[in-house]
């Protein structure tokens, strides 16, 4: 039975899980969550995930939440990628969840998905400063390396790339970070890779 990923195109956290499944050749299907219509706050969604967050993976009777947990499940089931039992992979998954994706996701939301008159300039500038430090850390790590952990794409690559292919501005200029840029191109050339808006239902264009 194919696994079902509760997701929406704008979600970089869901993209981490979807991309991992794609690159590992896992059988899955998307189930659109109308995040911008408030679905993740509904009683029905909270019954599935009391944390109220996307993504959620449903596979038979099993319900998994947190992108890293879903990613690790796929890595263990397929044996196609290094998973969280590798300390270096886990180190970067934790770093990404704290320093990169959470801040990139929030900044992108504030800059693009809030009504213009509600966008908090000072908060956005603060977040962009924090993000710049995160980009510098990742760019330096990728200097002389093809992949974040080990010699092949791992969960760490799928996690750290979660928000970095999106077109909406949030202060990340690929060309300013040459090692990140080259790594994103390498990951984007892997068999099965797709852009988030081609992989999951829903995009800003649908809401215009």
Ligand X SMILES: N[C@@H](CCC(=O)N[C@@H](CS)C(=O)NCC(=O)O)C(=O)O
Residues of the shown chain interacting with ligand X in the complex, contacts defined by CB under 6 A: 11-13, 40, 52-55, 66-68, 97, 105
Beta 28-32 vs 3-7: how paired, if at all?
Answer: parallel
Q: Which is nearer to ligand X, 99 or 186 (CB)?
A: 99
Shortest Cβ 39–ligand X spacing (Å):
10
Q: Which is nearer to ligand X, 54 or 81 (CB)?
A: 54
Tokens 């949030």 — which residue? 170
Q: Which is nearer to ligand X, 11 or 154 (CB)?
A: 11
Q: How far apart are CA 205 and CA 200, in angstroms?
A: 13
Shortest Cβ 87–ligand X spacing (Å):
19
Q: Is the peptide bond before 55 cis (omega within 30 degrees of 0)?
A: yes
Shortest Cβ 205–ligand X spacing (Å):
18
**Residues 17 and 23: beta-carbon distance below 8 Å:** no
Q: Which is nearer to ligand X, 11 or 20 (CB)?
A: 11
Shortest Cβ 23–ligand X spacing (Å):
17
Q: Which is nearer to ligand X, 17 or 138 (CB)?
A: 17
Q: Which is nearer to ligand X, 25 or 52 (CB)?
A: 52
Structure tokens given for 22? 């794609």
Which is nearest to 30 in space by CA: 53, 14, 51, 41?
A: 14
Question: Kindly report the CA angle at 92 between 3 and 90, in degrees rounded to 5?
Answer: 65
Shortest Cβ 105–ligand X spacing (Å):
5
Shortest Cβ 159–ligand X spacing (Å):
8
Please, which contacts does 185-193 make with residues 24 or more away whose CB atoms are closer than 8 Å? 186/146, 186/147, 187/153, 187/157, 187/158, 187/161, 190/23, 190/153, 191/23, 192/22, 192/23, 192/25, 193/19, 193/22, 193/23
């Amino acid at each position: 039975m194919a696994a079902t990923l509760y997701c929406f195109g704008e979600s970089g956290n869901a993209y981490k899980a979807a991309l991992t499944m794609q690159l590992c050749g896992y059988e899955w299907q998307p189930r659109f969550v109308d995040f911008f219509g408030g679905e993740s706050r509904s009683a029905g969604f909270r019954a599935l995930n009391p944390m109220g967050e996307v993504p959620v993976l449903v596979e038979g009777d099993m319900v998994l939440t947190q992108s890293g947990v879903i990613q690790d499940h796929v890595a263990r089931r397929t044996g196609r990628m290094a998973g969280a039992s590798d300390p270096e992979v886990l180190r970067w998954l934790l770093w990404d969840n704290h320093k990169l994706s959470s801040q990139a996701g929030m900044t992108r939301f504030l800059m693009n998905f809030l009504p213009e008159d509600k966008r908090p300039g000072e908060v956005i500038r603060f977040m962009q400063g924090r993000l710049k430090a995160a980009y510098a850390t990742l760019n330096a790590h990728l200097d002389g390396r093809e992949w974040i952990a080990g010699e092949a794409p791992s969960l760490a690559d799928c996690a750290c790339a979660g928000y970095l292919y999106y077109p909406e501005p949030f202060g990340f200029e690929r060309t300013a970070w040459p090692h990140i840029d080259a790594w994103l191109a390498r990951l984007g050339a892997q068999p099965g890779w797709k852009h988030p808006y081609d992989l999951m239902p829903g995009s800003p264009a649908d809401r215009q």
